[in-house]
């Protein structure tokens, strides 16, 4: 066994689903076509300084117009599954009312195209592009947004529920709440600690209402229901780190797993945030609504943090991986915790590469919650250099994937029930506040011509899928 996680020849079972993942705002474009309404990312990306170089998702990868070509590309790579998200504003321009037929038709074509090519559709209802009209009425800090999400889930269950194999309610609600309403580095760019915690609860409520709406409308008999979380993995450096890790775990992880998987908010979370709120926005019956049975838990993993309690001397280190901000992603803990720079190597995002932590995370999640797990995102941005033909020899990305797939395999060997792996991302795309400056794709996108060119990592991944084993 290699200590550096650079294994090869490790075999995966035939039932294991290898695929790739994308998100609607990051790839679709067609921002003002066929009845699509404005999203919070349309608005946020136009705020001066919010997104690098003023980039927007107006065109992105133009996936909306290149759907069939992209489906053919997935087939050529041998993908067994494709995790995509549905743009809520494409279905309901203002976040309520009847479904927009042209929007539904697009996703119906997508699902049918996947099935025709033998690719399992994994649909995410919400990957951060909230209809702007709902934000104007309070966004995720408002209870009504959760209720509207339940209605939206019902519409999608009715439209695609005879064909989609796996339904995911939310992608990374941690980012939606803490980066969107706390740090302000994601849409809608709010920096309000109370709004952040209100958003946490209403996202949880939306999840529960969404699961119930799907179960009431989906007709496919062997369907699975899920949520995708991005667990915050914190590592210690001294004897104060255990308390820092506890606080990070409460805010970053158990604020979601507690209600979703246990039916309760952790007592220490409520105590940690008591100076901000008494959580009276949690109404009677909410926790029962949120705590719905799940078939699989989606796990997104990229990096770790190094934390300790701040001693109050000097400048407090704040290298939590999300850049400088006007607010905080850690309400109730921001002034007490130091986020120290991580040891390298690092990706182009500045995120450390730690496959061992990934292995341990998967094992611990399975032990804690006894649910099948699917790796719904894992991948890396690197400063890819294309030759004259657009070809990218991305050895660093192949190395990253090799290490993290080794970690998945080792976690399975330790008893973790892991049913699939979706590499992030199928193609280079709009990387949120970084615009088009960071490339995560296994397929290169030329942003002038929009031509797709599989990188060496795509060919390596295609071989992995064919052979069911990590290539040499």
Q: Please give the positions annotated as active site.
A: 172, 377
d(CA 338, CA 316): 6
Taking alpha carbons only, the member of 45, 51, 43 closest to residue 134 is 43
The radius of gyration computed from the CA coordinates of the chain, to the nearest angstrom, equals 21
Query: Is the omega angle on the peptide bond into residue 188 within 30 degrees of 0, that is, cis?
Result: yes
CA nearest 22: which of 351, 410, 426?
426
Give the span between the Cα atoms of 136 and 40, in whole angstroms.
9
Quickly tell me which residue has 């706390």 as its tokens: 182
d(CA 429, CA 28): 9
């Amino acid at each position: 066994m290699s200590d550096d996680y650079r294994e090869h020849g490790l075999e995966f079972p035939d039932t294991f689903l290898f695929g790739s993942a994308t998100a609607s705002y990051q790839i679709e474009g067609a921002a003002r076509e066929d009845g699509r309404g404005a999203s919070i990312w349309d608005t946020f990306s136009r705020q001066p300084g919010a997104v690098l170089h003023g980039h927007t998702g107006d065109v992105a990868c133009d996936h909306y117009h290149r759907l069939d070509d992209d489906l053919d590309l997935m087939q050529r790579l041998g993908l067994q599954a494709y995790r995509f998200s549905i743009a809520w504003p494409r279905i309901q321009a203002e976040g309520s009312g009847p479904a927009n037929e042209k929007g539904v038709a697009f996703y119906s074509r997508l699902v049918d195209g996947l099935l025709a090519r033998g690719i399992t559709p994994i649909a995410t209802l919400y990957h951060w592009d909230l209809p702007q009209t709902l934000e104007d009425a309070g966004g995720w800090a408002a209870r009504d947004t959760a209720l509207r999400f339940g209605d939206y889930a019902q519409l999608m269950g009715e439209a695609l529920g005879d064909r989609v194999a796996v339904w995911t309610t939310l992608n990374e609600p941690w980012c939606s709440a803490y980066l969107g309403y706390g740090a302000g580095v994601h849409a809608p760019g709010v920096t309000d600690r109370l709004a952040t915690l209100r958003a946490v609860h209403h996202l949880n409520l939306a999840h529960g209402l969404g699961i119930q709406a799907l179960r009431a409308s989906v007709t496919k008999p062997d369907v699975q229901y899920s949520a995708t979380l991005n667990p915050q993995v914190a590592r210690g450096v001294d004897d104060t780190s255990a308390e820092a890790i506890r606080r990070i775990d409460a805010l970053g992880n158990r604020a979601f797993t507690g209600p979703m998987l246990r039916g309760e908010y952790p007592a220490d979370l409520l105590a940690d945030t008591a100076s901000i709120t008494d959580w009276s926005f949690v109404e009677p019956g909410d926790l029962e609504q949120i705590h719905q049975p799940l078939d699989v838990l989606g796990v997104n993993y990229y990096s770790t943090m190094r934390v300790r309690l701040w001693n109050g001397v000097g400048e407090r280190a704040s290298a939590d991986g999300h850049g400088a901000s006007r607010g905080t992603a850690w309400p109730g803990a921001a002034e007490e915790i130091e986020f120290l720079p991580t040891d390298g190597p690092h990706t182009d995002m500045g995120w450390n590469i730690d496959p061992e932590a990934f292995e341990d995370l998967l094992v611990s999640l399975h032990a804690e919650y006894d649910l099948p797990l699917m790796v719904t995102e894992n991948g890396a941005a690197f400063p890819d250099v294309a030759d004259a033909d657009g070809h990218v020899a991305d050895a660093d990305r192949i190395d990253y994937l090799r290490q993290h797939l080794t970690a998945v395999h080792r976690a399975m060997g330790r008893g973790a029930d892991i049913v699939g792996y979706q590499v992030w991302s199928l193609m280079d795309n709009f990387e949120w506040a970084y615009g088009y400056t960071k490339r995560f794709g296994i397929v290169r996108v030329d942003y002038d011509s929009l031509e797709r060119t599989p990188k060496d990592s795509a060919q390596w991944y295609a071989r992995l899928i064919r052979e069911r084993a990590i290539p040499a």
